[in-house]
Amino acid sequence: MKRTLEGMAKAGEPLLREALDAIRAHQAAQDSGASPETIERLRVLADALYHAVVDFQLLEAGSLSESIH
């Protein structure tokens, strides 16, 4: 399945917006010279939210074969 912005939008605007905001916050922290701990925390958050959007998209398409707990 192709992962497109349009496809990820099916995950719902609030989740998609939260993921994009987290990615932007991570980038801003890197650009501003934030502490390594802050940068890592924001990276983990952005990564988790991105994967939640993708997993939802795959679940909706019937392509997610593993159980989600």
Which residue, chain included where needed, has tokens 């932007």?
24
Contacts of 57 (CB under 8 A, 6+ apart): 1, 3, 7, 8, 10, 11
Tell me: the pLDDT tens digits for 16-41? 889 999 999 999 999 999 999 999 99
Please tell me the predicted confidence (pLDDT) of residue 60. 74
CB 9 within 8 A of CB 58: no
> With pLDDT > 70 as the criterion, what percentage of the chain qualifies?
72
Residue ranges of the domains in the chain? 15-67
pTM: 0.71
Handedness of CA 4, 6, 10, 11 (dihedral sign): positive
